[in-house]
Every structure is written in structure tokens, then in C-alpha cells.
Amino acid sequence: MDMSSPLARARGHGTSSEGGTLHWWGQRLTSIAMAPLALWFIYSAIGLVGADHGAFTSWISELGNLLLMSLFILTMFNHIGQGMQVVVEDYIHGEAAKIATLLALKGFIYIGGASSLLSIFIVVFGN
Amino acid sequence: MMGVAMAGGAVLLIYWLAAAAYGPDAFERAQDLFATWFGRLVLFGLTFSLFFHLANGIRHLVWDMGHGFDMPVLRASGLVVVAVAGVLTLITWVAAYMQIGAL
């Protein structure tokens, strides 16, 4: 017979021990940050339709645009990582497949984020 | 769900910025690729996905704060999300075509 209390049985099985609560708050934070950043990006992208390399270079070389584009890249790849992690945890079953997919996801967001940041800095500061 | 689609779209952003870093020729190829009918179709889909995801994300944040769970409100907010996404997508594309002088 199980003599432990309901609380004792519940402890250690929740996601809060795996950082679930923090993850939830982090996701809300990047969501709120993404709203103005995404609107700014769409506005900027409209201005860059049909732009040649020179026009793109002078756009990204403006300090405000470089700063906002860096924030957009950092926040977006974080946001993708957080959102896709939840999708993977909810829909990929089996521990091995889950860990493999999460590792691939981490690889994608770190390489994608680093590549994007590096690209805009190469454009601005030359190569 | 739209978020998953857009995570694929992030690959296009990576490619676009990398092309700019490679130089004028690569960037021109990327711009030309996005301007093909298929490129425009993909970007149009991504535009709608982004606005839908944004509007529905705000809907989710309102739910997180404990509001909007009554069935009529729930249905209405769902329609508002689709309508807002549609209108913002159209505005964006009209502005984009005006940018290249096609409208």
C-alpha cells in the first residue's frame, strides 16, 4: 500500500522541475517582443522589395536598422526555438526521437541565428 | 501551426541575408528568386501566416490573462483574427507592389 501523501506522489513529475514555468514565461516574453519587431520587419521588407545590393547595404548600415534587425534575429530564433520545443515535446513520442529532434532544433536556431547575425555584420562592416 | 510553417520561412531569411553577405551577384539572384511567381506565392503565404500568427498570438495572450472564454466571444475573436490577418496581408502587398511601381 502506498503510504505517501498525494503531494509526495505528485512531486518530481511536473514540468516545473524541468523549468516548465520559466519556459512558459520566456515564451510570453519573446511573443510580446516579437509583435512590434515583426511589424517593423514587414514595414522594412516592403521598402526593400526590388532593392539592389547597394540599397540593401545602405538600409542595414543605418544604426537603428542594424540594431532592430539584430534584435529581430535574436528574438525570432529564440521564439522559434521555444515554440518548436513545445510542439516537439507534445507530438514526438519516444525519448530517443524526442531528444534527437530537440538537438536538431537547437542546431537550427543557433546556426541560423549566428549565420543571420554574421551576414548583416559582414554587409555593414565589409569583408 | 502557422508558427511551424514560418519556422520553414526562417530558412528564406537566412538565405536572403547570407546572399547579401556574399555580394551583389548573389543578392540579385536571391531578389530575382523571390520575385518569380512561385517566390511571390511563398512570400504571400508567409505574410498571411505572420499576420495570422501575430493576431492569434495576441488572442492567446488575452486568454492567458483570463479573458475571452465565453463561447460567442471565442467565435467572434476567431473571426476577427482571420479578418485582421487578411486585411493586413492585403495592405502589405498593395504597398509592396506600389514600392516597385506596379500599382
Specify the pLDDT at position A9. 77
Over 60: is that where the pLDDT of A15 sits? no
Whether A111 contacts A103, CB under 8 Å:
no
Integer Rg of chain A from CA: 20
Identify which of A27, A4, A90, A9 has the alpha carbon closest to the alpha carbon of residue B57. Answer: A27
Cβ <8 Å between B20 and A60? yes
User: What length is written for chain A?
Assistant: 127
Specify the pLDDT at position A126. 84
- How far is the first Cα of chain A from the last one, in angstroms, to the nearest whole number? 71
Specify the pLDDT at position B69. 86
Q: How does residue A39 score in pLDDT terms, banded at 50, 70 and 90? A: very high
Specify the pLDDT at position B68. 87
Specify the pLDDT at position B3. 79
In a domain, A10, yes or no: no
Arithmetic mean of pLDDT, A108-114:
98
Q: How does residue B5 score in pLDDT terms, banded at 50, 70 and 90? A: confident
Arithmetic mean of pLDDT, A88-94:
92
Residues of chain B with C-beta less than 8 angstroms from the C-beta of A36: none
Residues of chain B with C-beta less than 8 angstroms from the C-beta of A45: 96
Q: Select from B21, B23, B50 the Cβ nearest to the Cβ of A38.
A: B50
In a domain, A45, yes or no: yes
**Predicted ipTM of the assembly:** 0.94
In a domain, A25, yes or no: yes
Segments forming the whole domain that contains residue A40:
20-125
What is d(CA A24, CA A1) in angstroms, rounded to the nearest whole number? Answer: 36
Report in angstroms the alpha-carbon separations of A54 from A39, A123, B17, B24, B68. 24, 10, 14, 8, 48
Q: What angle do CA B93, B95, B99 make, to 5 degrees?
A: 115
Specify the pLDDT at position A6. 82
Report in angstroms the alpha-carbon separations of A94 from A8, A79, A104, B40. 26, 24, 16, 39
Cβ <8 Å between B54 and A56? no
DSSP state of B36: S
Cβ-count burial B62-80 (b if 16+ within 10 Å, e if not):
eeeeeeeeeeeeeeebeee
In a domain, A109, yes or no: yes
Domain count, chain A: 1
Whether A38 contacts B85, CB under 8 Å:
no
* DSSP code string of A32-100: HHHHHHHHHHHHHHHHTTT--HHHHHHHHTSHHHHHHHHHHHHHHHHHHHHHHHHHHHHH--SHHHHHH
In a domain, A60, yes or no: yes
What CATH code is carried by the domain that includes residue B29? Answer: 1.20.1300.10
Whether A61 contacts A124, CB under 8 Å:
yes
Q: Select from A32, A53, A115 the Cβ nearest to the Cβ of B28.
A: A53
Name the residue type at position A62: E
Specify the pLDDT at position A13. 65
Segments forming the whole domain that contains residue B34:
2-99
Work out the percent of chain A whose per-residue pLDDT is above 70. 94
Whether A37 contacts A75, CB under 8 Å:
yes
Domain count, chain B: 1
What CATH code is carried by the domain that includes residue A61? Answer: 1.20.1300.10
In a domain, A49, yes or no: yes
In a domain, A53, yes or no: yes
What is d(CA B76, CA B80) in angstroms, rounded to the nearest whole number? Answer: 6
Higher pLDDT, A102 or A13: A102
Higher pLDDT, B101 or B10: B10
In a domain, A94, yes or no: yes
Q: How does residue A16 score in pLDDT terms, banded at 50, 70 and 90? A: low
Cβ <8 Å between A80 and B11? no
Q: What is the pLDDT of residues B6-45, one digit of tens each?
A: 888 999 999 999 999 999 999 999 999 999 999 999 999 9
